[in-house]
Each structure stands twice: as C-alpha cells, then as structure tokens.
Amino acid sequence: MQPEQLKGLLEQVKNNDITVDEAVERLRHLPYEDLGFACVDHHRQIRRGFPEVIYCPGKTAEQIVEIFSSLARKGNNVLATRAEAEVFEALAQTGRFPQARYEKAARAIVLEQKKLEPSKSVLPIVTAGTADLPVATEAKVTAEIMGQRTELICDVGVAGLHRLLGQLEKLQKANVIIVVAGMEGALASVVGGLVSCPVVAVPTSVGYGASFEGLSALLTMLNSCAAGVAVVNIDSGFSAAVTATLISKKIEQKSN
C-alpha cells in the first residue's frame, strides 16, 4: 500500500523472485495478524512510528490478553488504556508478562520490553485542577512508552493565574505543550496566548452540571481566541500524548 513497498514488490515479481500469486497474497495478508475477533496491526510501528495500542472498554479480558500477547510477541512495548484492575489481574495470572505493570491513576497497563532512547526535550503536561490528574497521567504514560520525557505541572487553573505565571519559563522553552482542563477549560487559551509553540488541549469531564460531561471545556478549547491550540477528544490523554509526541519526534528527528 505504500508506494515504496509496492515498487519493491513489483521489482521482485519482474525478476521472478516471487510469483504473481505470492505477491498478491503478501499484499493482502502480511501486515496484520487475524485473531478472529481482532486484526492486530503489526505494521503500525513502521507506518506511524508507534505500535498499536489496546483500548480496553468493550473488550473481554480474554480478548485483551490475546491481543496483548500478539503485540508483545513482536518485541515492542505494549500499552493498554482504560484497563480495569481485573484486566491487569487476568494478564498477571497468565504469568507470561512479569514486567508488565498497572498504572492505577491512568488505568493503563504498560509493558516496556524495549528500551527507547529518551527524548531530549521534555513535554509539559499542564492541568487546571487536581481532578484532571487521571487524564494527565494517561497522557504521561502514553508519551513515555513512546520515549518522550514529560513533566506534570498540576493545578494551575485560571482562578489563580499567578500559579501559572510561576511556571512560565518552563512552558516557553517547550516544543509543544499538553493542557488538560475540565470545567470551563479556559486554561488552554491562556497558555496558548503566552507561548510560541503549539498547544494540544484535552477537555475533561470534570465539573458541575452544565459542564455536560466535558462538552463545555471542549467547546471552549475549540473556540480558543488564541490560535495555535488544537483539540483532542474529551478525557483522551492518550490521543493528546500521541499527537504531542509525534510533533516532538519530528523536531528531534530533523535537528539531528
């Protein structure tokens, strides 16, 4: 599907290294593993720069264990998000992944079996309040398994602006910043207005009634008067971390 791969394959066919039927087969079946209930995308590491990640809700513990095993067999680091403690227990009981650990605050299962070169830059993950920590922690765990160093800056919401200003130097040095905020989500705009790097904003479902499960913070962030703010799904620390890490990687890659 990627031009280079396709070209290589066509060359092999031309040179009679493989038959036409073999080429078609290879194109169709190679890059993923069909478990019946899941098609594990082993090709994602090559294509996107990070392996497939297991989103647990709606999957049975048995299914998660099998997908986890399939991914782990390739030697990559493995991440399962939104995992209940029972899922980790089911995984632990197999005895196959003694290195796997459960990050309770982030509800994530992490298996680091390949040591990645840590990034030069540090990614600030800023939260408006303490209640935004679970989402921020999911972002932290996700970024770190992709090799990105992070720093949590907690509870610096706009109700007490000086707390944020005290962290300004760190923020102004960053390549990209993650801002995690519920309630009215104004922190993203305020941070965005103070720095020259892009901001990835995560609305959270923290708040009183009219936060409507994160809708309020989501709309605030989308309507940010400070340009340079892009938004991910409500409570999706995972998605913010992948976006921010992809940005950060591009920067470090180019600067080598």
Q: Which of 65, 71, 143, 183 binds a second copy (CB under 8 A)?
A: 183
Reading the block at residue 95, the tokens are 């005895």
By three-state DSSP, how is residue 149 classified? Answer: strand
Query: CB 22 → a second copy: shortest distance, Å?
Result: 10
- Annotate each residue in 234-253 with x if it binds a second copy (CB under 8 A) or - if it does not, as one string: xxx-xxx-xx--xx--xxx-
Near a second copy in 81-110, by CB under 8 A: none
Which of the stretches 54-62, 85-93, 94-102, 111-119 binds a second copy when contact is defined by CB under 8 A?
54-62
Which of the stretches 70-78, 90-98, 111-119, 204-212 binds a second copy when contact is defined by CB under 8 A?
204-212
Reading the block at residue 206, the tokens are 């923290």
Angle between helix 133-145 and helix 237-254 axes, rounded to 10 deg: 40
Q: Does 223 bind a second copy (CB under 8 A)?
A: yes
Which of the stretches 83-91, 95-103, 111-119, 128-136 binds a second copy when contact is defined by CB under 8 A?
128-136
Which of the stretches 47-55, 69-77, 94-102, 106-114 binds a second copy when contact is defined by CB under 8 A?
47-55
Q: Which of 38, 61, 90, 92 binds a second copy (CB under 8 A)?
A: 38
Residue 155's closest CA among 181, 129, 183, 136?
129
Query: Taking the C-alpha atoms of 72, 73, 76 and 81 in order, what is their torsion angle to the nearest 10 degrees?
Result: -20
Q: Does 222 bind a second copy (CB under 8 A)?
A: yes
Instruction: Say which amino acid occupies 158.
Output: V
For residues 130 and 124, what is the distance between their CA atoms, to the nearest angstrom? Answer: 16
Q: Does 124 bind a second copy (CB under 8 A)?
A: no
Query: Which C-beta is closer to a second copy: that of 111 or that of 249?
Result: 249
Q: Does 175 bind a second copy (CB under 8 A)?
A: yes
Do residues 35 and 8 lie in contact, with contact meaning Cβ atoms separated by under 8 Å? no
Q: Which of 86, 99, 115, 255 binds a second copy (CB under 8 A)?
A: 255
Reading the block at residue 23, the tokens are 């080429």
Q: Is the dihedral of CA 210, 156, 158, 186 positive or negative?
A: negative
Sequence-distant (≥ 6) Cβ neighbours of residue 74 within 8 angstroms: 42, 45, 51
Reading the block at residue 237, the tokens are 């620390």
Instruction: Say which amino acid occupies 100.
Output: A
Query: CB 89 → a second copy: shortest distance, Å?
Result: 20
Query: Which C-beta is closer to a second copy: that of 117 or that of 169?
Result: 169
Q: Does 31 bind a second copy (CB under 8 A)?
A: yes
For residues 222 and 255, what is the distance between their CA atoms, to the nearest angstrom? Answer: 31
Query: Which C-beta is closer to a second copy: that of 129 or that of 147?
Result: 129
Partners of 149 in the β-ladder: 122
Q: Which of 73, 89, 151, 159 binds a second copy (CB under 8 A)?
A: 159
Reading the block at residue 131, the tokens are 């209640």
Q: Which of 65, 67, 106, 143 binds a second copy (CB under 8 A)?
A: 67
Query: Which C-beta is closer to a second copy: that of 56 or that of 100?
Result: 56
